[in-house]
Amino acid sequence: MAGKRLIILSIFSVGIVLVVLNSAYSRRRIPEYVGVDVCKKCHGMESIGNQYKIWSTSNHANAFMRLKTTKALEIAQKIGVEAPHAELQCLKCHTTGGGKSERVKNEGVGCEACHGPGEDYFEFSNHASFIDRENAYRKAISLGMYPILGVEGIKARERLCKNCHRDERPCSPADIEEKKRRELSLSIIADLPSKLRHPLRR
Ligand code: HEC
Ligand code: HEC
Ligand code: HEC
Ligand code: HEC
């Protein structure tokens, strides 16, 4: 009799542990940004395409430094901002994590600004595989990578780019023609221009 009660009791307590674990799991933590240098360790290698080199010579890598130029100061002054490189109103689009993450506050528009915060996926086995790439990519997405790759990713990619590349920004040119010229067309979004293109599989 006592034995049976013990069994029921222990099944009950296993149940409680499961409920507690489950609720801790569903209160999902948002992964942190790890910074460009972590990605560079592998993505700076020629054998897999050196995406780092392509990025580092693009203006995205320069987006934070841009906030220290005379032009930036002029733009900022008009809306009453004194130090644009220290102001969320500008960092929002000019650096990874929008200026809210100390670690990547001045790296510019880095890998993770477009591919998602890397804390949970940056290790090889959490996002890459030379054997089953599709599954590796799926796993990466479940760990916080943004689903912006390939044809299936076009919609998400468009939203991502236009989050920053939109008309309503303090640095948008006043001139209508210039504004038009700077608008990101869907064709640029779908097929990155050569100075931004950093593919792996083509
Ligand atoms: C330990 C090495 C390593 C690190 C660190 C690393 N990667 Fe990768 N990553 C790879 C390799 C190798 C591949 C290619 C595998 C293949 O050929 O499919 C890859 C593939 C990718 C892909 C293609 C999609 C996919 O899931 O296959 C993206 C996007 C990517 N990495 C982004 C990043 C970003 C962003 C970081 C930093 C936060 C990062 N990687 C850090 C090795 C690494
Ligand atoms: C909503 C996103 C967003 C915000 C907020 C933002 N920027 Fe920009 N900024 C951009 C984008 C996108 C570009 C690149 C546009 C292009 O070249 O097509 C840019 C470009 C610039 C440039 C280069 C402009 C040029 O004409 O060469 C400067 C300078 C600049 N921003 C300063 C600022 C300052 C200062 C602030 C804060 C007061 C700010 N930005 C806030 C998105 C933003
Ligand atoms: C401005 C946004 C942006 C930034 C910044 C960026 N990427 Fe990408 N990346 C993309 C897009 C969009 C694609 C998909 C291109 C395609 O599918 O044609 C891509 C593709 C890739 C791929 C190839 C995936 C494949 O399936 O072929 C890898 C690897 C990668 N990026 C790694 C990086 C790394 C590492 C960095 C930083 C050094 C970085 N990216 C910075 C937007 C970005
Ligand atoms: C986090 C905000 C952000 C995101 C996301 C973003 N950009 Fe940008 N982009 C910028 C800023 C800021 C600049 C201006 C950098 C500078 O010149 O200082 C810029 C510059 C550019 C330029 C001019 C590049 C050059 O080297 O002359 C192009 C083209 C561009 N972005 C395309 C894209 C595309 C395509 C995507 C989506 C795959 C994208 N961007 C995503 C913020 C962003």
The best mutation among 54, 57, 60, 87 to test binding of ligand 4, ranked by most ligand atoms within 8 Å of the C-beta, falls on 60
Distance CA 95, CA 85 (A): 10
Are 118 and 111 in contact, with CB atoms under 8 Å apart? yes
- The closest ligand to the CA of 89 turns out to be 2
Q: Is the distance from the beta carbon of residue 104 to the nearest atom of ligand 1 less than 6 Å? A: no
Tokens of 81: 């901002």
Handedness of CA 160, 161, 167, 172 (dihedral sign): positive
> How far is residue 171's CA from residue 75's CA, in Å, rounded to a whole number?
6
- Give the ligand 3 atom nearest the CA of 113: 5
Q: Report residue 5 as tokens.
A: 């009660």
All residues at 6 or more sequence positions from 193 whose CB lies less than 8 Å from its CB, including other chains: none
Q: Per residue of the chain (202 residues), what is the pLDDT tens digit?
A: 455 665 555 555 555 554 545 555 555 788 999 999 999 999 999 999 999 999 999 999 999 999 999 999 999 999 999 999 999 999 999 999 999 999 999 999 999 999 999 999 999 999 999 999 999 999 999 999 999 999 999 999 999 999 999 989 999 999 999 999 999 999 999 999 999 999 886 4
